[in-house]
Amino acid sequence: MKIGILTIGNELTSGRIQDTNSALISRAMQEQGWAVARMISVGDDDGAIHDALAHLLARADGVIVTGGLGPTADDITTAAVAKAFGLGLYSDPAVLAHIRSIFEGRGLHWTENNAKQAVFPDGAEIIPNPAGTAAGFALRRERRIVAVIPGVPAEAKRMLFEGVIPLFRNAFPGAALHVETLTFKLFGLPEAAVDDAMADADLAGLGVGIGFYPNFPENHLVLTVREASAERAAEKLREARKRVEARLGKHIFAMGDETLAGNVARRMTERKLTLAVAESCTGGLITDRLTDIPGSSAFLERGFVTYSNAAKTALLGIPETVIREHGAVSAETARLMAEGARKSAGTDLGIAVTGVAGPSGGTEAKPVGTVFIALADGGKTVCRPHAFRWDRRRNKVFASQAALLMIWRHLTGELRNDG
């Protein structure tokens, strides 16, 4: 089964807004085992919509259209699609009543242009909008189906999964395969090294697709199986997972929707451990990522952003002589920062980062991207040097990732105490 996607709006063709719906829809189609043949974007232009729709209908079994369903004059999708199909328009009383009730419920003033959102092509199947006033609709012609939904991403997403996909599955029952995917999240391993490691795994022979997707600062490895039965799909994926884990296990820090910060938070909380963070070049990004996780107050006691040397001395007890002799960016300072944060907070663990984020501040001995990360647990303090080669923001992101990974490896017992 082939799919075409048409996204409509001047905000797209002018580059003002990034079209995220096409990627969302194509990913969902992939998950259904349906191939996306074309994705087209056009402005709010009658002729262009007509032309693009004809192009897609000649090349796809199902076409999904988003955008241009609003109440204002530039929202012309419904009329343009009706015209392309040679259909008239009608106003649906039930939808009109529903829109009016939304306005009343929100205490909004009703203006007549809102009635436009209750207008559909003759014979359209209405796709309800559980999150807004713009209902969608579907039209069928010669074993092909077109579904039209709003462009607002949150509404498009719900209506895609609750309306469009069930409609397409019914329209093309034979086309539905059980598609299962499994995502492994890795950090610090280039694509070529993953390729190399997986070379003898023969996933192709197993009938499992493998994809490798950079997702800064992480790399995601995605397995995909398409099978007639859910059982067979799950079975293949289990075997493939074993083969991946045997080869890349130590580089995997999360699966599927898990995140590195989320896994650190969960493990810290489960083990009733507490953490203090001392950041210099990452500037608060580590605690920002950890505090994105609900419930992080269970383990995160405090963070220090010791941007000045005076702050490092006053808050973490780093002797001025250490900073003078070894530098604020040094293994010695990083270790004392981790130990000082831990001691100040009375926590189980202390993690510290100090480095040169750039673009200036680098020296020959310590160029931009030099970062030291230390973890103190009250026993030995481990410190790791890093040499990142990105711009300021990405050096910060990489350093925060490496620091979280260091905590994660400590928690999983993989952090060697060789520092």
Q: Smallest gap, in angstroms, from Cβ of residue 256 to a second copy?
A: 15
- Coil vs helix vs strand at 374: strand
**Count of H helices and E strands in the chain?**
16, 17
Among positions 192-231, residues that touch a second copy (CB under 8 A) are 211, 213, 222
Does position 30 bind a second copy by CB under 8 A?
A: yes
Q: Residue 233 has which token pair?
A: 């799909």
Within 10 A of 42 (CB to CB), how many other CB atoms are there? Answer: 22
Which of residues 40, 69, 147, 382 is near a second copy by CB under 8 A? 40
Select 121 or 150, whichever has its Cβ closest to a second copy.
150
Burial-class residue 307 by CB neighbours within 10 Å (0-12, 13-18, 19+).
middle
| Contact string (CB under 8 A) for a second copy, positions 350-369, x = contact | -------xxxx---------
CA distances to 99, 158, 278 from 267, in Å: 47, 32, 20
**Contact (CB, 8 A) for 402 and 258:** no
Distance between CA atoms of residues 279 and 300, nearest Å: 14
Does position 23 bind a second copy by CB under 8 A?
A: yes
**Contact (CB, 8 A) for 168 and 159:** no
Does position 55 bind a second copy by CB under 8 A?
A: yes
Q: Smallest gap, in angstroms, from Cβ of residue 71 to a second copy?
A: 12
Chain position carrying tokens 């100090």? 354
Select 161 or 231, whichever has its Cβ closest to a second copy.
161
Distance between CA atoms of residues 161 and 306, nearest Å: 47
Q: Smallest gap, in angstroms, from Cβ of residue 360 to a second copy?
A: 7
Select 19 or 227, whichever has its Cβ closest to a second copy.
19
Strand partners, 42: 8
Contacts of 205 (CB under 8 A, 6+ apart): none
Among positions 169-188, residues that touch a second copy (CB under 8 A) are none
The amino acid at residue 104 is E
Q: Smallest gap, in angstroms, from Cβ of residue 140 to a second copy?
A: 24
Does position 301 bind a second copy by CB under 8 A?
A: yes
Which of residues 78, 117, 282, 370 is near a second copy by CB under 8 A? 282
Does position 272 bind a second copy by CB under 8 A?
A: no
Strand partners, 8: 42
Does position 82 bind a second copy by CB under 8 A?
A: no
- Coil vs helix vs strand at 348: coil
Helices (DSSP H) in 249-386: which residue ranges?
A: 260-270, 285-291, 309-316, 320-326, 331-345
Site size with a second copy, rule: CB under 8 A: 75
Which of residues 22, 32, 114, 263 is near a second copy by CB under 8 A? 22
**Contact (CB, 8 A) for 134 and 69:** yes
Does position 273 bind a second copy by CB under 8 A?
A: no
* Only segment of 89-97, 119-127, 283-291, 319-327 that touches a second copy (CB under 8 A): 283-291
| Contact string (CB under 8 A) for a second copy, positions 85-124, x = contact | ----------------------------------------
Which of residues 90, 103, 172, 307 is near a second copy by CB under 8 A? 307
Which of residues 33, 128, 188, 283 is near a second copy by CB under 8 A? 283
Q: Smallest gap, in angstroms, from Cβ of residue 308 to a second copy?
A: 5
The amino acid at residue 364 is E
* Only segment of 79-87, 227-235, 242-250, 287-295 that touches a second copy (CB under 8 A): 287-295
Does position 303 bind a second copy by CB under 8 A?
A: yes
Does position 143 bind a second copy by CB under 8 A?
A: no
Contacts of 105 (CB under 8 A, 6+ apart): none
